[in-house]
Each structure stands twice: as C-alpha cells, then as structure tokens.
Amino acid sequence: MLGDAISNESESTIMPSNKIPTLLVVVVLSEKQQWFVAGISLVDGAVDCLVRSEPANLDAYVGGDADEQLSFLRHRLSGAMQRGFDRLWGNAAKASRIVLIADQELPDSTPELLPRLAEHLGIWMTRPPIVFFQGKGSERIECFSELQLLAGQLEATEQTYLEKQLPTLQQKLADPTAWEVIAKPRDSS
C-alpha cells in the first residue's frame, strides 16, 4: 500500500519528455518597477518573450516595513513566474530552472531586500530550482560577468545559453510590442 502511494506520487511529478527544457528568465527593472518573463531554450538558445507587467507593477512594496516588502515581492514575482510556466507549457516547453535578474537595488528599499528575497526564493523554489542575480545599473543585464550571484547556481550549459542570450534579451526589453502585457492588479480596498 505504501509502495503504491510512493509510486503514484512519483508518476504525478514526472514531466513529459517531449517538452523543450528552458530557462524561465524573470527580469526586474528597478527604476520602472516592472518585470518581464522570457524563456531561453536549452536546445537551440532561442529567446521567447512571454509576458511583462506594466511599469509601476511593483511599487506597492514602497513604504512597507522589511517583512511587508519581502512578502509583497515574493507573491508578485511568484505570480509572474506562474504566468511564465503556463506560457512555456503552452509552447511545448518546460522550465528546468528559474533565473531571476534584478538590474539593481530597488528604490526605497533596504540594501538587504534583494538578498533576503533571493535567499527566501532559493530555499522555497526547489522545483524548478532558482538562481538569482543582481545587476550593477539601470537596465544593464546584458553582461553576465557583471551580474552578482545572490542565490542558487547554474549548470555549465545553462550558463552558456544565458550568457550568450543576455544581449538579445536586453534588446527585447526595449520592445514593448514583443511581450504580452499583464495588467497591474487593482488594490483591494
């Protein structure tokens, strides 16, 4: 009986092998308070622009205490990731790793906010695992060697594809028509 439960649980977590393994890349542009979700194929390196938020999508964290800011960003970015998973699945792909890149520290936050968020997501996002980087300037994500690793790790093949495609991804961030727009949730008052 216990063996059947373990066997059934294992079967339900196995993903179809015909799905293309893909990096799910979430980019946060701090000054714009905006996120973008793209896929980078681990088969051919193709970049697929999936969804983006409107500017000011992340601004509700401003003014909260450290725990409120962390909670808000964790929930908002988890929602962005879920939308990316859904779009990938619909495109016959599956996320093998999440790569989250914040171009710089978020305005009106403590310097510890992004490292705390990275640590939290690194602990709780285990399937697929997450790697979290922070850049060194506004909308500067194109140079892999300038990104600071905050949590997680990449396999060699994943790093190669990410490093090669960051300049392409950087260019696509400037093209608002390349992305499906997700409207900012209304405040529930």
pLDDT in tens, 73-97: 999 999 999 999 999 999 999 999 9
Q: What is the average pLDDT value for the chain, to the nearest integer?
A: 88
**Residue 72: is its pLDDT beyond 80?**
yes
Domain 18-182, CATH: 3.30.420
- Residue 59's pLDDT is what? 92
pLDDT band at 17 (very low <50, low <70, confident <90, very high): low
Q: How confident is the model at residue 36 (pLDDT cuts 50, 70, 90)?
A: very high
Question: Quick one: average pLDDT of 45-71?
Answer: 94
Least confident interval from 1-5, 13-17, 127-131: 1-5
DSSP 52-109: EEPTTTTGGGTTS-HHHHHHHHHHHHHHHHHHHHHHHHHTTEEEEEEEEEESSPPTTS
pLDDT at 13: 38
In angstroms, how far is CA 55 from the centroid of its own chain? 17
Q: List, for residues 50-61, the tens digit of each pLDDT value.
A: 999 999 999 999
CB-CB contact of 81 with 22 (8 Å): no
